[in-house]
Amino acid sequence: MTGVRGGGLDDETLQRLRSRATQLLLKEDWREYIAVCSRIVDGAAADRRVLCSALAHRADARARLGDSAAALADCEAALAADPVHLGALLSKGKILRGLGRYALAADCFRAAALAAGGGCGADEARELFEQCRRLEAQARSGAVDLSEWVLAGFAGKCPDLAEYVGPVEVRRSARGGRGVFAVKNVEAGATLMMAKAVAIGRGVLQDTTDGGEKMVVWKDFVDRVLDAAEKCPRTAALIHTLSTGEERQDDLVVPEMALFRQELEGLSLTDDTNMVMQGTREVLDVDRILKVLDVNCLTEDAPAADVLGNNGVVNCGVGLWILPSFINHSCHPNARRTHVGDHAIVHASRDIKAGEEITFPYFDVLVPVSKRREASRAWGFECRCDRCRFESEDFTLKQEILKSENDLVNGGDMGALVVRLEEKMRKSMVKERGKAFLRASLWSAYSAVYDSDKLVRKWGRRAPSEALVAENIADAVGGNENVLRAMLRGSKDANGCGNRLEVEDKVVRIGRATYGKVVKRHAMRALFRLTLDANNNVKV
For the sheet with 199-203, list strands across it: 199-203, 316-320, 298-299
Q: What is the model's pLDDT at position 277?
A: 33
Angstrom distance (rounded) from CA 304 to CA 149: 15
Residue-level pLDDT at 308 = 56
Beta bridge partners of residue 318, listed in sequence order: 201, 299
Rounded-to-integer distance, Cα 365 and Cα 356, Å:
20
Beta bridge partners of 340: 343
Q: How far separated are the first and last CA of the chain, in Å rounded?
A: 78
Residue 3 CA to residue 12 CA, distance in Å, equals: 8
User: CB–CB of 192/358 below 8 Å?
Assistant: yes
- Residue 259, pLDDT score: 85
According to the model, what pLDDT value does residue 271 have? 40
Strand pairing of 281-283 and 335-340? unpaired
The DSSP call for residue 310 is: I
Ramachandran bin of 321, using left for φ above 0, alpha for ψ from -120 to 50, beta for the remaining angles: beta
Q: For residue 496, is it left (φ>0), alpha (ψ between -120 and 50) or beta?
A: left
Cα 3 vs. chain centroid, distance in angstroms?
56
**Dmax of the chain from CA atoms?**
104
347 beta partners: 191, 336
**What CATH number is given for 11-141 in this structure?**
1.25.40.10
d(CA 343, CA 8): 48
User: Could you give the CA distance from residue 89 to residue 168 in angstroms, rounded to a whole number?
Assistant: 35
Q: What pLDDT does residue 440 have?
A: 94
- What's residue 334's pLDDT? 96
Are residues 448 and 412 in contact, defined by beta-carbon separation less than 8 angstroms?
no
DSSP 329: P
DSSP three-state, residue 78:
helix
Residues making up the chain, counted from first to last:
540
Cβ neighbours of residue 338 closer than 8 Å, sequence gap 6 or more:
302, 304, 305, 308, 344, 345, 347, 515, 516, 518
Q: How far is CA 21 from CA 10, 49, 513, in A?
A: 16, 17, 52
Q: Three-state DSSP class for 204? A: coil
d(CA 511, CA 471): 11
Q: Angle 443-450/466-477 helices, nearest 10 degrees?
A: 150
* CATH architecture, domain defined by 164-358: Beta Complex (2.170)
Q: Tell whether the torsion through CA atoms of 349, 437, 464 and 535 is positive or negative.
A: positive
Query: Hey, what's the torsion of the CAs at 12, 18, 20, 26, to 10 degrees?
Result: -160
Q: Residue 296's closest CA among 261, 327, 259, 337?
A: 327
353 CB neighbour count, 10 Å cutoff:
10
- Residue range(s) in the chain whose domain bears CATH number 1.25.40.10: 11-141
The DSSP secondary-structure symbol of 326 reads: G
pLDDT at 223: 94
d(CA 503, CA 493): 9
Which residue, among 15, 11, 35, 39, has the nearest Cα to 25 in the 3D structure? 35
Give the residue range(s) of CATH 2.170.270.10 domains in the chain: 164-358
Residue 399 parent element (H or E): helix 395-410
Q: Which residues of 428-456 are buried (b: 16+ CB within 10 A; e: fewer)?
A: eebeeebbbbbbbbbbebbbbbbeeeebe
Going by C-alpha positions, the residue among 136, 139, 95, 92 that lies closest to residue 111 is 92
CA-CA-CA-CA torsion sign (171, 176, 182, 184): negative
Given this model, what pLDDT does residue 262 score? 62
Distance CA 142, CA 163 (A): 8
Helix (H, G, I), strand (E, B) or coil at 380: coil
**β strands within 357-494, DSSP E:** 357-358
Residue 68 Cα to chain centre, angstroms? 23
Per-residue pLDDT, 439 = 94
**What are the 10-residue block averages of pLDDT along the chain, 540 residues in total?**
52 89 91 93 85 95 88 95 95 92 95 88 94 94 91 83 95 91 96 94 66 79 92 86 89 89 49 36 78 90 52 70 95 92 92 96 91 90 91 76 81 89 90 93 92 89 90 88 86 59 83 90 83 52
